Structure 1
């Protein structure tokens, strides 16, 4: 497995566009720390975002993983381009001629996706730990290391999303078309949800069905964290609103995404095995 990863990372590092995207992605992850610098001083009104509790333990695990997941498209482009380059440069054929089996080829791509997800998770963990140590009002160990399931959800979410992109890259062969299909699929999921709720079933049932679709199931792993903030909840109460959402990471949500991950990897292998290269 180490040999397969070495092959993939050598290819990626020798590709200038991939190198720029990967570096940009991790710079953006680090930029989460810049949120702490946001201040508004307008006369008597003084607002410092870090003082609103966004970096408090254990809330920071929820907030940072949600924000970091927004940047995943950068690595998705790398993965899709990685497959597109294999076809356009005919390196896939050369790798198979050199003795790499189709199973090993798919495994190398999947291991690369897992590596990206794992490195991203560790990176977010370290950044969050540092920010929490500086800004959090709570520094007791049981509090610091509670809610770490958001990191697990973040890892699973990235692996699932990258596996889906890997399948699209193999199926479509062209990175621009694959990314276009990714956007189209996201739209299709929302349209399907609307049609089901409008014509066929209740909106609650339609929402439950949507939760089994690939992109939506990945999105469901980490719910938006903003309505958890005390400042937001206080404003909501003043205007008569009451936020009573379920922010927890559930095992069945992880199971759904893992099933889609396995299916995407299997379909990638089946497609490559069937295709005449």
Structure 2
């Protein structure tokens, strides 16, 4: 396992574009801290973002994992480029000639996916602790380390998304086309959900149940947007709408399970494609 991971990391680190994207990704993640400095002033109205409770424990776990997940495209580019380079530079064929089996090759790629997801999760965990202890109104251990399921959901979400990118990279062979396919698939899922929501005569909420089984939508459902959890936003919404705002923000086991199943499917299909393809 260590040998396979070492091979992949050497390939990535020797590739200048991949190295720049990886560094840029973690630098951008750290920019979440800059949200604390954002202030709005409209005449007598003043709003300091950090004072609205976004960095309070345990809300910070939800907020930071949601924001950090928006930046996952940077590592997605690295994943699809990683596979495209294998075909372009002939390193895939050379690895197989040198004795690496196709199963070991897929395993090495998946280990890289796991490493990226784990590294990002640990980074967000440390950053959230620093921001939380700097701005949170609560510092009791029981409160600080509650709601850590959002970190688990974040790790599972990134692993599944990167596995999907790995599958596309193997299927399409070209990074630009793979990313294009990813974009088109995202639109396709939106169209499917939209059709069930507005075109077909289905009971209320059925389209959401259908959407939760689609790959990208199931990943999105793991960590729902956290902004409406803020008391100031919730109060404003209730004043405008005239009724109490209710939404389920929890991380559910069945949602995690669906995404894990998709991860297994992507890795399995990647192996099957590579197994049957004439290199």
What residue number does 2:212 align with? 211
Distance, in Å, in 1 between the alignment partners of 2:149 and 2:261 is 19
TM-score after normalising by structure 1? 0.98
Q: CA deviation at 1:203?
A: 4.4
Structure 1 segment 183-262 matched on structure 2, within 5 A: 183-197=183-197, 198-199=199-200, 201-239=202-240, 240-262=242-264
Give secondary structure in 1 for the equivalent of 2:147: coil
Q: Deviations over 1:126-178 (max 9, x none)?
A: 00000000000001000000000000000000000000000000000000000
Distance, in Å, in 2 between the alignment partners of 1:69 and 1:93 is 34
Distance, in Å, in 1 between the alignment partners of 2:208 and 2:268 is 27
Gaps of 5+ in 1: none
What residue number does 2:53 align with? 53
Query: RMSD in angstroms over aligned alpha carbons?
Result: 1.0
What residue number does 2:62 align with? 62
Q: CA deviation at 1:72?
A: 0.2
Give secondary structure in 1 for the equivalent of 2:31: helix
Gaps of 5+ in 2: none
Name the stretch that deviates more: 234-243 or 172-181: 234-243
Name the stretch that deviates more: 31-40 or 194-203: 194-203
Q: Deviations over 1:115-136 (max 9, x none)?
A: 0000000000000000000000
Q: CA deviation at 1:192?
A: 1.1
Distance, in Å, in 2 between the alignment partners of 1:200 and 1:8 is 49
Give secondary structure in 2 for the equivalent of 1:255: helix
Give secondary structure in 1 for the equivalent of 2:205: helix
What residue number does 2:10 align with? 10
Q: CA deviation at 1:44?
A: 2.4
Q: 1:265 aligns with which of 226, 243, 267?
A: 267
TM-score after normalising by structure 2? 0.97
Structure 1 segment 1-277 matched on structure 2, within 5 A: 1-197=1-197, 198-199=199-200, 201-239=202-240, 240-277=242-279
Distance, in Å, in 2 between the alignment partners of 1:203 and 1:71 is 32
Q: CA deviation at 1:90?
A: 0.6
Distance, in Å, in 2 between the alignment partners of 1:201 and 1:41 is 46
Give secondary structure in 2 for the equivalent of 1:40: strand
Q: Deviations over 1:78-106 (max 9, x none)?
A: 00000000001010000000000000000
